[in-house]
Amino acid sequence: MVEDAQNAISDVKARLAEVPVEMVVANHVMGLYELAAIHLGAEPPRLHEASLAIDAVGCLVEGLGSRLGPDAPTMVDALSNIRLAFVQIKASTHAAQNP
C-alpha cells in the first residue's frame, strides 16, 4: 500500500516534469486569480484576503512578464480586470457602510 502511494507520487512527478514550466506557473496564477474572485464575491466581500491574492498575482505576472510565455498577455489582462473589480467592490462596500 505504501509502495503503491510512492509509485503514484513518482508517476505524478514524472508527468509534471514533462509539462512546460510556463504552463504550471500560469495555472498557479489563474488559481490565485480565482481565489481573489472568491473573496471579492463573498458576502460581505473579504477585501483583505482578496488583496493578498491579487498582490500575489501581480508579483508573478509583473515580475515574470514575458517569461510566462504566450499566455502572458492574457494574465496581464486578468490582473487588470481583478484589480478593477477590487476597486469597484471596495468603493461600493465603503458607500454601503457610510450612506
Number of domains in the chain: 1
Tell me if 26 is assigned to some domain: yes
The pLDDT, as a whole number, for residue 37 is: 98
Half-sphere exposure of 52 (CA within 13 A, CB side): 6
Q: What is the pTM of this model?
A: 0.86
Enter the C-alpha cell of residue 56.
500575489
DSSP 69-97: GGGHHHHHHHHHHHHHHHHHHHHHHHHHH
pLDDT digits (tens, 9 = 90+) for 72-91: 999 999 999 999 999 999 99
Tell me if 8 is assigned to some domain: no
The CA-based angle 38-42-45, given to 5 degrees, is 105
pLDDT digits (tens, 9 = 90+) for 15-68: 989 999 999 999 999 999 999 999 999 999 999 999 999 999 999 999 999 999
More confident position, 17 or 97 = 17
Rg for the chain (alpha carbons), in Å?
Answer: 18
Domain boundaries, position 27: 20-97
Tell me if 14 is assigned to some domain: no
Tell me if 84 is assigned to some domain: yes
